[in-house]
Structure 1
Amino acid sequence: MYNGYSSNGAPVPASVSERPAVLLGETPLTLQDFQAILTDHARIELADSALQRVESSYRFLRKFATGKLIYGVNTGFGPMAQYKIADADLNDLQYNLIRSHCTGLGNLLPPQETKALMLSRLCNFMRGYSGIHTDLVYLLRELINRDVLPCVYEHGGVGASGDLVQLAHLALALIGEGEVLYKGRIELAADAFRQEGLRPLTIHFREGLALLNGTSAMSGIGVVNLLEARKLLNWSVALSATINQLVEAYDDSISHELNSVKPHEGQAAIAGLLRELNQGSSLVRSREQVLYREENLGADYLKDKVQEYYSVRCVPQILGPVLDTFRQAEKVVLNEVASVNDNPVIDFENENVYHGGNFHGDYVSLEMDKLKVAFTKLAMLGERQLNYLLNDKLNQKLPPFINAGKLGLNFGLQGMQFTATSTVAECQSLCTPVYVHSIPNNNDNQDIVSMGTNAAVMARKVLHNAAEVLAIHAVAVMQAIDCLGHAERLSPRCYGLYQKVRSVFPQVVADQPHFFNLRKVTALIKSEDLGLL
């Protein structure tokens, strides 16, 4: 029996209480915690100590605000902050802010990203610096656990006074208005609340501004991007190891001795993974056993290449920076999720209210730009390895386009290369940085902005493109393995990879449309983590 759908569209158990729990409010969430909630259907619970902080922050602000002017509590917003708001209008001020900023357009955020956005906002509130009523955090918890997801749109945020437009759509659903994704379809929020027996949020004091002022949209999308990026990096490493085996590469390019004299953590880690993946293979060769033998010394021409092409030999040096970039982005984005990005910040312990710009999204914006550049390079490596396998003049081992049919009559994987090349080119075009693209707005109150949500959305596109390139790349690697008859000589882990891909995409002999099965391989790559990193 099911009563809901997960953030990736799969049904979830009817009883929320039956699912494993992740506790919010005691320690910052990890990428694994997000994975558990977004993909593995874990429920969230709220730590009592954090709830007490939320309550204390709210009570302090109610008392502290008496007889004072505090931005967003009894003043207007942005350029209109010079206007004092009458006591009778304070609640209307918060509702007006929410409704007036629900101006999002473009595509809906995917459900998983919306859920990550909500989770990111809840993590911020649980720090206890927002001056909000506990009703808000309890309702957010229930919507996340029950997969009642606000309809949030890609276009609208400039990422400087927070993700105002995207978070306004979250707030609109919380007050029981607007639309939500519920049970796999779009419904009115009010109808979904009735079906779940939930009451919409009632504004108590400053919940409107607290919901809108934050970087939770770019952070939520950023977290999902990181989960995707980790899978792609794992697949790229595993496919690179498999190519090293099937072309019988020399093992010194991935040796500890060679890679340790260049002290980059990512390079050393990638080289180490390649060595692990090669364990048990009879294909990778030792230079000493082949090129250092006496019978080769008198030859004027060596048929065997002395060194492989860069796309095979330089994998640690190419994917090392990608790994380092991923790790830095993970650190920064998770720090942002764990941060207080309100304005003002309500500090009940020091009994003060601090105005500033913690809502500015430059940290996330820069990391998303770096991530898309790094994974464009990963896609480029995949395309170059693909080209190496398809070009018989380069590999000198395989028929043109790894054609297992009749040369001239059949085309092998020729058509797939066009798609890979085109997709990599689009990634390269998307690498224009967003971090340095600021347009003043809001009557020049927001005179320099981060465009962080745009950066995260564009990074998502690059990552999806990279998955498609790796899918074509994976098909070519498996086709080469079959062509050379090397399946049984692969290492156990690379043979397992071969079996995974072959389960959804059989060897190509006769010409046929390939896009159906390529979609299956893309879905496999986007769902299977491989667990290397």
Structure 2
Amino acid sequence: MQKLYKTAYHTNPMLVENTITLASLYKILFEEEPLTLSDPCMQKLEESFNFLKTFSNDKIIYGINTGFGPMAQYRIEDESLSQLQYNIIRSHATGAGQPLPERYVKAAMVARLYTFLQGKSGVHKELALLITEFINRGIIPYVPEHGSVGASGDLVQLAHIALTLIGEGEVFYQGKKRDTASVLAENGLQPFQMHIREGLSVTNGTSVMTGIGIVNLIYARQLMQWAVGASVMMNEIATSYDDFMSEPLNEAKQHEGQQEIARMMRQWVKDSLCVRKRENELYNGKHEEKIFTHKVQPYYSLRCIPQILGPVYDELLNAEKVLINEINSACDNPIVDPDTQNVYHGGNFHGDYVSFEMDKLKIAVTKLTMLAERQINYLFHDRINGILPPFVNMGVLGLNYGLQASQFTATSTTAECQTLSNPMYVHSIPNNNDNQDIVSMGTNSALMAKTVIENAYQVMAILMMGIVQAIDCLDIADRISPRSQQVYKEIRAFFPVFREDTPKYKEIESMMVYLKKGRFQEK
């Protein structure tokens, strides 16, 4: 394969075909594995470009020799065709708000690359190669969060990415925000020059919402694993009867997610000395007690974990299906099809699939967060748990306060998640001279899901702080399951047991870093 650019990354890059899995996306986004385009991909790009070049000579095709959007009724003269492609990029780079974090922008570039690799966009291969160089070298376009209505896709945010590909705008590079031109020069890269329709193709589609969604999904899957582990450790602290996670009970209900969560819990709790066997204590011998000192059935936030997290698990599976389908699709307009020798005008840029899925994902993660908040309340409320001091306070009651104030943070953050869970999918507002008269708001939905997931990590961090404090309060570190012991030891390595009052904001941040760092990698 011809190399147009000098490379500056490590060896053994991932060979890119025209489809990708979540596991490969994880390697690119979280392990910085570099990419190289395969020969079949390059051939597919060239075939699509060459067909469009020939086909478009004497035809009227949207975005090649017409204006864009409601301006499509105006024909563009031949001498202005190249300028037209630059104009859509420059005119649409109108984003506002905070910059989208680098990992999410990188994911959007990967998503855009895979749209082109379907061979249905008619773009020149140099565009795909330059995007690959940006990904491999860590050249991350400055992309403001706000601007997309999610139909014609992510026009505004993609325009900010496109702006950097033509050597304009700004990028983040090696930890600093810099002008693009100097970074390209430093890396021996040339700005992209328009051929036929690359300005439209690079700005038109669902790649930003899809990229955000992919990162959201990976973080949410990690969070799900922690929710399962925390729930097991909660039941170890409460010395619950273990039959709520039993196989016969959960297979009596025909939901894959519930059964899988119960299986995961049984695996985590294996060899624990804390959980109880109902058959050994309540089904054995004669019982004449009038009041049972140990709860026969614990609170729902401890007992109903498979039923609560099961639907969340199922949603994660569906979100993966939708997002992987989207990233392996051609999502721009028009669609260039060398196989049928035609160019089709339609709406593959419309983001409803991603929008709907991100709404469902944020609802699922909010429910997970609500569960964690209730488990925090169980740990901190001495009159509910009956075994721990208030707020797992290991100091002097009244003088010291334990994790009392941390609950305020968890409660307020959970409340914000509940509000953010209102759907964007049904909040279409017509715009663009009513050309875009029904839109997806998919990027807003993905961004709100991103916030909900970040909030959920904050609440989970406080829960895990409470759990390890409770384990030390009860002196049961040697009785919990081996897997729970491993987590306990890892946390105590950076969050030691405490009795005196100290600020906890740095510890919450450290705990979030720990929870995100990749214990449960993509399979």
Instruction: Note if 1:114 corresponds to 2:105.
Output: yes
Please, which of 369, 372, 376 is the counterpart of residue 366 of structure 2? 376
User: What does residue 203 of structure 2 align with?
Assistant: 212
Q: How far apart are 1:20 and its partner, in Å?
A: 3.9
**1:532 CA displacement:** 9.2
Distance 2:462 2:78 in 1: 63
Q: Residue 357 of structure 1 corresponds to which residue in structure 2?
A: 347
Per the TM alignment, residue 32 of structure 1 is displaced from its structure 2 partner at its CA by: 1.4
Q: In the superposition, relative to structure 1, how do residues 353 and 248 fare at CA in structure 2: closer, same or farther (>3 Å)? A: same
**Regions of 4+ moved over 6 Å:** none
2:238 to 233, 247, 252: 247
Amino acid of the structure 2 residue aligned with 1:131: G
Q: Residue in 1 aligned with 2:165?
A: 174
* Residue type at the aligned position of 2:427: H
Deviation at 1:528, TM superposition (A): 3.2
Instruction: Deviation per CA, 1:367-417: give whole Å up to 9, x if none.
Output: 111111111111110010111111111111111111111112111111111
Counterpart in the other structure of 2:15: 23
Q: Show the counterpart of 1:320.
A: 310
193-202 or 504-513, larger mean C-alpha shift: 504-513
SS of 1:45's equivalent in the other structure is strand
What is the SS of the residue equivalent to 2:67? coil
* Corresponding position: 1:54 with 2:45: yes
Q: Is the 8 A contact 1:54 1:134 kept in 2?
A: yes
**Inter-partner Cα distance in structure 1 for 2:187 and 2:450:** 32
Report what 1:469 is aligned to.
Answer: 459
- Kindly indicate whether residue 399 of structure 2 is the aligned counterpart of residue 422 of structure 1: no
Equivalent pair of 1:505/1:518 in contact (CA under 8 Å): no
> How far apart, in 2, do the equivalents of 1:47 and 1:440 lie?
41
Asked whether 1:300 is paired with 2:255, we answer no
| 8 A Cα contact 2:261 2:309, kept in partner | yes
In 1: Cα distance, 2:8 partner to 2:179 partner: 22
Shift of 1:531: 4.9
Partners of 2:400 and 2:500 within 8 A in 1: yes
Distance in 2 (alpha carbons) for counterparts of 1:532 and 1:302: 44
Using the alignment, how far apart are the partners of 1:510 and 1:284 within structure 2?
31
- In the alignment, what sits opposite 1:10? none
**1 CA distance for matches of 2:141 and 2:111?**
14
Give distance in 1, aligned partners of 2:159 and 2:520.
37
What residue number does 1:6 align with? none
Distance across 1 between alignment mates of 2:17 and 2:339: 17
Deviations 1:304-350 (A, max 9, x none): 11101100000000011111111111110111111111110000111
| Residue in structure 2 matched with residue 202 of structure 1 by the alignment | 193
Percentage of pairs with the same residue: 52
* 1:253 partner amino acid: F
Asked if 1:311 is matched to 2:301, the reply is yes
Following superposition, the deviation at residue 153 of structure 1 comes to 1.0
CA contact (8 A) 2:143 2:157 kept: yes
TM-score, length-scaled by structure 2: 0.97
How many residue pairs were aligned? 518
Describe the shift of the 1:531–1:163 C-alpha distance in structure 2 as closer, same or farther (beyond 3 A): closer
In structure 2, what is the Cα distance between the partners aligned to 1:465 and 1:520?
A: 15
Relative distance call for 1:100 and 1:17 in structure 2 (3 A) is closer
State how 1:338-417 maps to structure 2 within 5 Å: 338-417=328-407
Q: Which runs of 5+ in 2 are unaligned?
A: 1-5
SS in 2 for 1:294: coil
* Cα pair 1:158 1:449 within 8 Å, conserved: yes
| Superposed CA RMSD | 1.3
Q: How does 1:26-37 map to 2 (within 5 A)?
A: 26=18, 28-37=19-28
- 2:505 paired residue number: 515
**Which of 114, 118, 122 is the matching residue for 1:127?**
118
In the TM superposition, residue 265 of structure 1 has moved relative to its aligned partner by 0.6
Does 2:229 correspond to 1:238? yes
TM-score where L is the length of structure 1: 0.95
Q: Secondary structure at the match of 1:489?
A: coil
Tell me, what secondary structure is at the counterpart of 1:62?
helix
